[in-house]
Amino acid sequence: IYLEGLISNRSPTFTTSTGSVLESAAREKLSPEAYAYVAGSASSESTSHNNRAALDSWQIVPRMLGGVDVAEFDGSTTLFGGKKYQTPIIVSPIGVQSQLNTDEADLATARAAAELEVPFCLSSAGDRTIEQVSEQVDFTNPVGDEEGGSEAWFQLYWPSDDKLAESIVKRAKAAGYTALVVTLDTWILGWRPRDLDQAYNPFLRGQGLAQLLSDPYFIATYCPDGKLPSKEHDNDAFLQVCATAVSLLNPGISRSWSELRTLRELWGEDRPLLLKGIQSPLDAQRGLEEGVDGIVVSNHGGRQVDGAVGALQALPTIAAMCRQRGKTCIFDSGVRTGADVFKALALGAHAVGIGRPWAWGLALEGQEGVSKVLKGILADFELCAALAGCKSAGEIGRHMLVKRGENL
């Protein structure tokens, strides 16, 4: 199904869904700053290498003559203890999408995801507001419905001002977002040499701040005379407000585990709350004890702690902890191909987040580009799983993998 669309509307940059081809094509289109911002990771960038090394350290053992019909392959998954999703992927949150696509930014990505019934996770560092993005999504028709449907999740950078946190979480709830993803690994930006070399910080130019700059509480409390200064008429005052916004998003102190209860009260019991950026099983355990509905095992694509563990190495233990308690486990960081999705599912993830690949697609062809990348990864995944002998995503398991170098 996915291939049909790709072949009928083929463009040379999409001959493969691997990061390298897409990335080099996107690089030619982007400004050096924007390219560096998206491609870059922390310091020596060893963590993003470790992400790939961890994925490559597992190998799939295909089975034959199992009566598999690839046209009938069921790639659906169940999240949050009973909700069916048609595909096992989600669109991981990426901030400052106006660097990649000035005209539409997050709106293009949200539409591409909605069309494929893939959950779109809007970033706290988005370039379109919670309300603008929600208009692209038909929340009345939930994902997994027979008719098909779409939904969006909201990713929270937990502001240091409690009232601001409250205002933003309530806006996301009121706009219909179905899950809250609280990212814990980025309470201050990591050391990113590619950006530092170019003295580039999009936030200080006023990008990536749509959520705060549209927030009634933020404007009333932090803007002079309770009004957002106009960029055109008073750029200095505008940039001053942006710097304030950045400082609220980068509080420099981490919140405490027990405060998760406050977020839960604001968000409500009826909608899932997940923690993103968890790598230690001890943190996963603590989060689950605090009553979260799921864990996103992720190291932010290697952008925060240099010299850290490959994210996939953290997955098996945390996925087992989640499954034992009936909670959801999602994995991202380093996923580029269908085989990568397969491996993460085999090691226990219920769903897999796609990050940089769709960002390159957005840079190349806007909504259509995001759609092609997601369809490519889904087609690659379905063929990979079917050729490996699986009729459904649910049949993929640890028994289908061996560690590199081990004999069967």
Residues classed as catalytic: 300
Looking at the Cβ atoms of 37 and 217, the one nearer to ligand FNR is 37
Cβ 52 to ligand FNR shortest distance, Å: 9
Residue 183 labelled as part of a binding site: yes
Apex 399 CA angle, 396 and 401, nearest 5: 85
Residue 313 labelled as part of a binding site: no
Number of residues that bind ligand FNR (CB under 6 A): 20
- Of the residues 75, 119, 334, 361, which one makes contact with ligand FNR according to CB under 6 A: 334
Residue 286 labelled as part of a binding site: no
**Distance between CA 159 and CA 186 in Å, rounded?**
11
Residue 341, interface with ligand FNR (CB under 6 A)?
no
Burial class (CB in 10 A: 0-12, 13-18, 19+), 392: middle
Q: Among 88-96, 143-151, 220-228, 385-393, which window interacts with ligand FNR (CB under 6 A)?
A: 88-96
Looking at the Cβ atoms of 55 and 68, the one nearer to ligand FNR is 55
Residue 338 labelled as part of a binding site: no
Residue 136, interface with ligand FNR (CB under 6 A)?
no
Q: Residue 344: which of 144, 16, 54, 94 has the closest Cα?
A: 54
Q: Among 3-11, 135-143, 167-175, 295-303, which window interacts with ligand FNR (CB under 6 A)?
A: 295-303
Cβ 396 to ligand FNR shortest distance, Å: 20
- Of the residues 123, 134, 167, 371, which one makes contact with ligand FNR according to CB under 6 A: 123
Looking at the Cβ atoms of 68 and 344, the one nearer to ligand FNR is 344
Cβ 9 to ligand FNR shortest distance, Å: 25
**Distance between CA 370 and CA 248 in Å, rounded?**
31
Q: Among 80-88, 108-116, 331-339, 397-405, which window interacts with ligand FNR (CB under 6 A)?
A: 331-339
User: Are the C-beta atoms of residues 154 and 126 closer than 8 Å to each other?
Assistant: no
Max CA distance (Å), the chain: 72
The binding track of 147-176 with respect to ligand FNR, each residue x by CB under 6 A or -, is --------x---------------------
- Of the residues 333, 337, 367, 371, which one makes contact with ligand FNR according to CB under 6 A: 333
**Distance between CA 15 and CA 13 in Å, rounded?**
6
User: Are the C-beta atoms of residues 192 and 41 closer than 8 Å to each other?
Assistant: yes
- Of the residues 75, 88, 93, 190, which one makes contact with ligand FNR according to CB under 6 A: 93
The binding track of 196-225 with respect to ligand FNR, each residue x by CB under 6 A or -, is ------------------------------
Residue 97, interface with ligand FNR (CB under 6 A)?
no
> Taking the CB of residue 316, how many other CB atoms lie within 10 A of it?
17
Cβ 321 to ligand FNR shortest distance, Å: 20
Residue 123 labelled as part of a binding site: yes
Residue 276, interface with ligand FNR (CB under 6 A)?
yes
- Of the residues 172, 335, 379, 396, which one makes contact with ligand FNR according to CB under 6 A: 335
Contact footprint for ligand FNR (CB under 6 A): 37-38, 92-95, 123, 125, 155, 183, 276, 298, 300-301, 332-335, 355-356
